[in-house]
Structure formats: C-alpha cells, structure tokens
Structure 1
C-alpha cells in the first residue's frame, strides 16, 4: 500500500544521484566559487550537506534503537571533522556520507515508515518518518540549488522534490519569516503557484503563517511553485526570479516580501 514517506525518500535518492553527478564534473577551482548561500563556497555547502547527513544518520539510527538523539558534543565533533578537510576532501567525502543516509531511509520497511518516530531534540515533539525525510529533502534540495545557481542563475529546485516540500514549509514558515520590515501592516496573500498547481494563502501580521487560500485576499502572488519555495528560504533575489513572477495589490512590492524571508 505504501506510506507518506515513500515520495520524499524516492526524491532524496533522485536528488543524491543528481548532485553527486553534478559535483563529479566540477573542476577543483569550481569548489572555491561562492555559492548562492551567503558566505559559503561550493565546497562549504558540500561540507554542510555531508556533516548534516552524518548527524541525520546517527539520529535515525538512534530512533530505530529507541535511544535519544545525539547530543551537541556529537554534532560538534562531526562539524569539526568536516571543517578540518580541504575543499577537495569535502567534495570527495560528501557522496559517501549522503549515500549512507539515503540508503538507511530506503532500508526502512513499511511498518517503520508508518510508525517510527524521530526525536530531533529541538522540536516540541518527535517527527514521523515522512516528516523527517521531507525535512532532510528540503535542506538537501535548497543547498543543491545553492551550488547549481553559482554557475547558472536560472537554476531551479529539483522537480522531483518540489511537491514534497510544501508540507514541511507549513511547519517551518513561522521560523523562516519576519514581518518586522512591514511595520504594522497586516496582509493576506493568495499564492497562485504553478508546476505543480497549488493555491495556498500567506498571512502576514504578528508573524507569518501558511494558510488556506483567502476568499478576499489583499494581494495576489503569481509564481512557479519552486520559486515560491525559494522565496520562503531567502533564495529569490531579483537575479534568481523567474520571468512572469508577479505580486499585485495590497500596496506590497516583491522587494518588501523578499525582506520578510531573509533566509539561512
């Protein structure tokens, strides 16, 4: 019958194959190029993905064993190990570390995918495997884009991942958004996304929330679905914005909306 976790896990595999193939074609000097992630080179993005894969694997294994999530000391040791590598070593080590995590997800049987929960240690409650896999998929997909956009400003998020990233976005958007730049304005946006076609709402007030589409919105955002996701994580600077993206109504500009989502 399958589970909700199947799609994100399959997308993690596809993303792994895509990025490892891409990285294998890079020249040594390409690893030192600045990525689209603030202040990180391409190699540093790969280091981040490799270290987070190691931590994710240990977290998943702890859940399977019924023990708590690895602590800060473990995480710091992993980060220090990757930070000590040269850029070529980071690029060479990334595929194996990420393969180990993806393979572990794939090993989970139907019962585990449906019933196992994972304690990340910093969220109010454990996540099921579908949510945990989707969370990793988001991190992996956005940082893959960071690398590809360093060489091609027209790069887009992997289509195999996009449909699976709106659910975790709903959980995280309150942490990602900051309405301080809007002052005391309160706005309800209708988001008309394409490929896939989605019509959520976006509420901007004391905080930011992803909602059902408002019946009478203050403004309308027309945008490709993958670009809407990039907007939410601070990756929709003007040079990365697809043609046809439009924000109308509410006295709100796209530049102001970009300020609401500073990214990470």
Structure 2
C-alpha cells in the first residue's frame, strides 16, 4: 500500500461522507433543484454518481476475481435501473452504492493495493489501484460540486482532493478540450495556480497540451487550483468564477477558454 493510494481512498471517503450528510437532509424540492450540471437536477447527479459506483465496483471486483471488466449489457442495465428510479429512490440508492464501493476499496489488503490492475469497460490500459481510485475521485469531486453549487454558488472543490488530482489532468485535455473553438488560432498560456502552487504552460492549437512555462506567452492565467480543475470540465461560468481568477493578455479571454472547455 502506497501513501498515495491511502490518501486517495481517504479522500474518496471524505467526499462521500460530506455529500451523503447533505443528501440525508434533502427534501423533494432539494432533489428537484437544477444542479451545476446544466441538464441534470440534483437527483440525476446522484443517479450518475450511484450508477458510476456500481460500475466501478464491478470493475474492481472483476479485477480481484480475474474475470475482467463489466460488459456493455451490464452497464446498460445499471443505467436503466437508475434512470427508472424516483428522485427519492436515487438519493437513498446513491448513499448505499457509494458507501459500498468506497468500503470495497478500503478493505483491499496492502498487497492487493500494490499489485492489482483494474481493466476498464472503455478503451484504456488497466490501471493500478492508485490510478483507478484517482480517476474515480476526480469524477466524484466534480459531480459532488454539481450538487453543492445548487445550494451555494461560491462552492469549490475540497483542497485535499485538489492536491491529489491536480497533476493528473493531462490525459483529460484531449477528451474535454475543443481547440477548434478558437477558430484556428494558436495560443500559448502561462498558468499559475495557488492552493497548491503549480506553474506550467498550456498550448492550444490543433490539440491541447501542457508544456513548460513559455517565455513569451500570449496570456497568463492566475487562478486557484480548484478553479483550474473546474475550468477543464466546464464548471466555469462567470457566476462560479472566484474573484482571484485573472487572465491577462489580449489574444484570449476567459470566455474563449470557457468555449474551449464546454464541459460534459
């Protein structure tokens, strides 16, 4: 068991415990509120989190048993079942499904945490437990934000989570980013983050990639690290942009970046 694995699983537990405490107090009106995910109400976010935990649990159990990742028929069945639930049923089932998944990770013995490789149900190389849990932590954190921001427009991501996932986003850029939204322009940014501190370059051209800090960037983005993570996945509207976010330069604006990272 590595410290990083342990920290990631503990962060998943903390994310679940905090959101579950909120969910237990939700009324029918709370569950029907529009969430931070523009097309979902709060109950639909909980449905996504709950079904995702069931699918991730099946992948984890398949790795332990040597039977491999769940197939598409299993996944479609999970989605259909959650889609058919009432709002209140989704809230209750969310708590059970996520607690079950986190407990399964917590119960892995040290040797298994070190040696296990988890196959995915989508094209990707099998992941070690740290990577597997980290990918789930990233998704859980953003969707937990979707719920929290429905009640608090100033909500942010938890610092412990940010510290664990801030250096693991490069693979997400190709999926989340739409560089064509710049109309063929090639832009380089210097990015300076706080809490935790990071500095790097962001190149937006035919593709999007992280680089060393450029000597002569077209623009400089200064922001809390949690906002940078939310920016990439489209949780970045002006209403939810902290005052500490600053973009200097004339070749690109925050609205440009919001189009490049439209969310999903």
Query: What range describes the TM-score normalised by the shorter chain of this pair?
Result: over 0.9
CA contact (8 A) 1:3 1:110 kept: no
* C-alpha RMSD of matched pairs (Å): 1.3
Aligned partners of 1:213, 1:109: CA distance in 2, in Å? Answer: 41
Shift of 1:215: 3.3
State the partner residue of 1:179.
Answer: 179
Where does the alignment leave 5 or more consecutive residues of structure 1 unmatched?
A: none
Where does the alignment leave 5 or more consecutive residues of structure 2 unmatched?
A: none
CA contact (8 A) 1:247 1:254 kept: yes
State the partner residue of 1:168.
Answer: 168
Calculate the TM-score normalised by the size of structure 2. Answer: 0.96
Moved more, 227-236 or 177-186: 177-186
1:146-190 CA-to-partner distances (Å, cap 9, x unmatched) read 011111110001222111122331121111101111122112211
State the partner residue of 2:231.
Answer: 231
Aligned partners of 2:119, 2:149: CA distance in 1, in Å? Answer: 33
Give the 3-state SS of the residue equivalent to 1:10 in structure 2.
Answer: helix
Give the 3-state SS of the residue equivalent to 2:164 in structure 1.
Answer: coil
State the partner residue of 1:112.
Answer: 112
State the partner residue of 2:93.
Answer: 93
CA contact (8 A) 1:131 1:168 kept: no
CA contact (8 A) 2:187 2:251 kept: no
Residue 22 (str. 1) matches residue 22 (str. 2): yes
Aligned partners of 1:22, 1:129: CA distance in 2, in Å? Answer: 28
Give the 3-state SS of the residue equivalent to 1:220 in structure 2.
Answer: strand
Give the 3-state SS of the residue equivalent to 1:163 in structure 2.
Answer: helix
State the partner residue of 1:215.
Answer: 215
Shift of 1:213: 2.5
State the partner residue of 1:36.
Answer: 36
State the partner residue of 1:260.
Answer: 260
Shift of 1:69: 0.5
Moved over 4 A (4+): none
